[in-house]
Amino acid sequence: MTEEPLQPLYSIEAEEALIAAVLTDAEILDHTSYLNKDDFYDTKTQYIWRSIKYLFNNRKNIDPVSIIEALKKNKSLEKSGGSYYITGLFGTIPTAANAGEHAKIIREYAIKRRLQEVTCKFYQSGIPDLNGDLTKFQQEIDEITSSIPQTTTIPGLTLHKYSDYIDDATPEPDFIVTCGILPERGVLIIGGQPKSGKSILSINLGYCLATASNWLGFTIPQKRRTLILQAENSYYNVRRRIKTLHNASEPPYNLQIPKDDNLIMSDPVSIKINEFNGYTAVRQLIKQYKPEVLILDPLIHFHSANENDNAEMGMVMEQIRSLANNHNLAIVLVHHTKKPGMDSSPGGMALRGASAVFGAVDSSLVLSRNSDTDTGDTDYTLNFDIRNGENPEQYNLDFDDSILFFMKKENDSVNIGQFIQDTTIKCGEDGISRKLLIELAEDEGFASNTTRRKLTALINKNTVKTDGKKRDPTIYYHTFASD
C-alpha cells in the first residue's frame, strides 16, 4: 500500500500575490503587517517582505524601485531573486479584496510548519520527561497556536445592523447625473457601432460634467472634474473637436466654458489596467489630477484580456470597480456593440464581448446611428439600461455638427406609450398580437424591453387590455376589448 505524498506546507502563489497586492495599494499593509519575514516560506519572498516592512515602518514609498534599493543596501538583492524577479511579480494585479485572505493563508501555513518542527523535535528527543519535556512541549504548542489569525480584516468593509438602516434619516447623495444615469462611484458604459458618434457623446458628457450643464435633459447638480483617457484620436483631431465644441459657449447655446483643470483629455494612450504597470499608471494619474469622473475611450485599449472570456473580463471590471471605490470617483467606459445582425437588442446586451461587462456596470447607454440612403438623412437613437432608476424610453437625438453636440429632439412627440395606443386603436376590434406589436415597435426604433415594460404599465392602467392568453395574447385598445 503506497503512502500518499505529504502536501507542501506553503503557498508560493499566495506569498507572491500578497506582495503584488501591497505594491498595488500600500494601504493593504494596515491589515497585513502582522506577518513577519519568517511567516514566508520562500527565501526570495522573505527578503522582499522584510524590505516592505522596513519601508512601511519608516513611512517610505513602497514600490518596486524602493524595494530594490532597500535590498541593495542590505546586500540581499540576489537572495531575493534579483531585480527581474521582483518586477516580474507584478505582471498581473490581485485585487485588494483578496489580500487579507492571502495573508491568512501565509500565516496558517507558517503555523503548521512550526507545529511540525516542534512535534518532530519532541519525538526525536526519545522518551519524554512527563514533568519537564511534556510541559515545555505543551507551552511551545500553545505559543504557536496563539498566533492563529482569528479573523480576516477586509479593507473598506463596513457592516450595519438592520436597525441602523431604519434609524438613519440622512439624505442620499445626489447622482452625478440624475435619474440614475451615473451614481457616485458608479460605472456607466456608452456603447455603439464604429463611427456612430459614441466618442463625441462621451466628450459631450465630459464637457457637461465639467460645467454642470444639462446633458440630454438630465441634470448634473454640480461641477465634476473630469479626466478623459482616449486611445484613438490624435492631438490635432481632439483639438479640432474641442475648438468646434467651444462654439457651444456662444449664442444661442451659451454653455459654460470649463475651467482649465476641470476637463482634461489625453493624447492617444493605451494603458492595460489589468497589468501592474498600467494599473499603477492610472492610479498615479488619479492621484495627480484628482478627477471625480474618469472616462476611458474605448475600453478595448485599456485591458489585455480576452474580450469574449467572462472570467477574464470579470477581473477587468473588478479592477475598474476597485478604482472607483478606492478613489471615490465614477467611471465612464466607451465600448463597441456587436456587429449588426448578431443581436437585435438595442440595449446593454448588444454590447460586444463577454456578458460580464454589461453585468458589472450600473448603467448602459447604447447609441445607434441610422442613415437613410434615399434621403441622406441620419437619425440617432439612445437606449437605456439603468440599475438605479427607471429606464427612460428610447431617446431620439439630433446632432448639431456646428458644435459637435447631441441633443434630445424636443419635437419628438411620439413615445412608446403613444405608439402602442395609436397602433391598438388602428387595429380596432381585431386587436394585434403582442409579438407583432413588439416587432412593429422595433421597426420604429423602440427597444423590445422598453415596449414590454410600457405595455405592462398600460395593461395595469386598463388603457389597453388582453384576451387573457398566456402565450402571445391579443392586445386591444380598451374601448374595443370585450368584457
Region 9-21 average pLDDT: 89
pLDDT of 114 reads: 82
pLDDT of 133 reads: 60
pLDDT of 367 reads: 94
Band (207; pLDDT cuts 50, 70, 90): very high
Domain ranges of the chain: 12-145, 187-408, 416-480
Q: In what order do the strands lie in the sheet with 187-192?
A: 263-265, 226-230, 293-297, 330-336, 187-192, 363-371, 378-386, 395-400, 405-408
pLDDT of 413 reads: 45
How far is residue 328's CA from residue 345's CA, in Å, rounded to a whole number? 33
**63 burial type by CB count under 10 A (0-12 exposed, 13-18 middle, 19+ buried):** middle
Is a pLDDT exceeding 70 seen at residue 419?
yes
Residue located via cell numbers 520527561: 129
User: Which CATH number is correct for 187-408, 1.10.1040.10, 3.30.110.40, 2.40.30.10, 3.40.50.300?
Assistant: 3.40.50.300
pLDDT, tens digit, for every residue of 110-122?
888 888 887 777 7
pLDDT of 31 reads: 76
Region 105-133 average pLDDT: 75
pLDDT, tens digit, for every residue of 332-366?
999 999 887 655 565 778 899 999 999 999 999 99
Q: Which of 24-28, 65-69, 128-132, 456-460 has the lowest mean pLDDT?
A: 128-132
Q: Who's near 289: CB < 8 A, 6+ residues apart?
A: 225, 227, 261, 264
pLDDT of 446 reads: 79
Q: Are 328 and 183 within 8 A, CB to CB? A: no
Does the domain made of 416-480 have the CATH classification 1.10.10?
Answer: yes
Is a pLDDT exceeding 70 seen at residue 131?
no
Is a pLDDT exceeding 70 seen at residue 428?
yes
Is a pLDDT exceeding 60 seen at residue 152?
no
Is a pLDDT exceeding 90 seen at residue 205?
yes
Q: What is the pTM of this model?
A: 0.62
End-to-end alpha carbon distance in the chain: 81
pLDDT of 163 reads: 82
pLDDT of 331 reads: 98
Q: Taking Cα atoms as reference points, which of 386, 437, 431 lies closest to residue 416?
A: 437
- Who has greater pLDDT, 6 or 306? 306
Q: Are 337 and 192 within 8 A, CB to CB? A: yes
How far is residue 87's CA from residue 65's CA, in Å, rounded to a whole number? 9
Is a pLDDT exceeding 50 seen at residue 196?
yes
Is a pLDDT exceeding 50 seen at residue 441?
yes
Q: Which of 145-154, 199-208, 213-222, 240-249 has the lowest mean pLDDT?
A: 145-154
Q: Which of 99-103, 305-309, 332-336 has the lowest mean pLDDT?
A: 99-103
**Residue 199: which H helix or E strand, with range?**
helix 198-211
Is a pLDDT exceeding 90 seen at residue 291?
yes
Is a pLDDT exceeding 70 seen at residue 129?
no
Q: Report helix, strand or coil for 209.
A: helix
Band (479; pLDDT cuts 50, 70, 90): confident
Band (145; pLDDT cuts 50, 70, 90): low
Region 84-108 average pLDDT: 77
Q: Report helix, strand or coil for 94.
A: coil
Is a pLDDT exceeding 80 seen at residue 6?
no
pLDDT, tens digit, for every residue of 46-83?
999 999 988 887 778 888 888 999 899 888 899 999 98
CATH architecture entry for 12-145:
Orthogonal Bundle (1.10)
Band (126; pLDDT cuts 50, 70, 90): low
Q: Are 207 and 224 within 8 A, CB to CB? A: no
156-161-166 Cα angle (round to 5): 115
Mean of all residue pLDDT scores within the chain: 85
Q: Which of 143-147, 154-158, 303-307, 318-322 has the lowest mean pLDDT?
A: 154-158
Q: Report helix, strand or coil for 147.
A: coil
Intrachain domains 187-408 and 416-480 with the same fold: no
